[in-house]
Amino acid sequence: MKILAIETSSDACSAALAVDGEILEVYRVAPREHTRLILSMVEEVLALGACPLSMIDAIAFGRGPGAFTGVRVAASVAQGIAFGADLPVIPVSSLAAIASYGQRNFDMAHSFVAVDARLGEVYSGRYILQGPSANLVGNECVLKPDLLPLIEEGEWLGIGSGWGIFEDQLSSRIAQGVSRIESDVNPHAYDVAYLAQQLTPLSAELALPVYLRDNVTS
């Protein structure tokens, strides 16, 4: 299966191409430049893989939660490409993509993801990774750091920008189960493509963003 993936829910902007288990990625940290960059990055990664859009089977995208504008860009670009090329879409949680990054870079299968959501809150989700399957424990949520669910002692990776901004609050509540913290991590299209391999493609009109809150901020 050949999957084109895009992820723009954070300050980073990336595109990836998965072909029979091999994944190529173009990644840049470029705050507020996603709209300008993402289509050229899609063209770049397709060229790197010598794979024209006509050979793609599905378009995967980071569906959020994350920065409102970035999440909206990913959903709209994925939907536009999918409609134009008559392809299905595969929405992938941007929090799960961060957990996948933690598994492949730090060899930790249990991730407690916390991403700055502004307004003194974090987007959060707990995941257990088994290969390209990210199993959500409980629900993804947006909460004040001191209201996040407790976890038992264990070998959890605390990962995401929220761990850098709210480390004291998070650590005082759940540090007993966290053995490592990596806060300088954004979601990658590489992981969106990787996780998409185990998900069911949907029709293009279902390329919808997930914000987790009604009063979204950019």
Q: Where are the domains of the chain?
A: 2-93+187-206, 94-182
Distance of alpha carbon 2 from its chain centroid, rounded? 19
Give the per-residue pLDDT at 152: 67
CATH number, domain 94-182, options 3.40.50.300, 3.30.420.40, 3.20.20.140, 3.40.50.920: 3.30.420.40
Per-run averaged pLDDT (10 residues), the chain, 218 residues:
97 97 96 96 98 98 97 98 98 98 96 95 96 94 90 84 92 77 97 97 97 69
Distance of alpha carbon 155 from its chain centroid, rounded? 22
Asked if 112 and 174 touch (Cβ cutoff 8 Å), the reply is yes
130: CB partners within 8 A, 6+ apart:
109
Domain 2-93+187-206: assigned CATH number: 3.30.420.40
Give the per-residue pLDDT at 121: 96
2-93+187-206 and 94-182 share one CATH topology?
Answer: yes
Q: What is the pTM of this model?
A: 0.95
Place of tokens 């998965």: 18
Asked if 154 and 145 touch (Cβ cutoff 8 Å), the reply is no
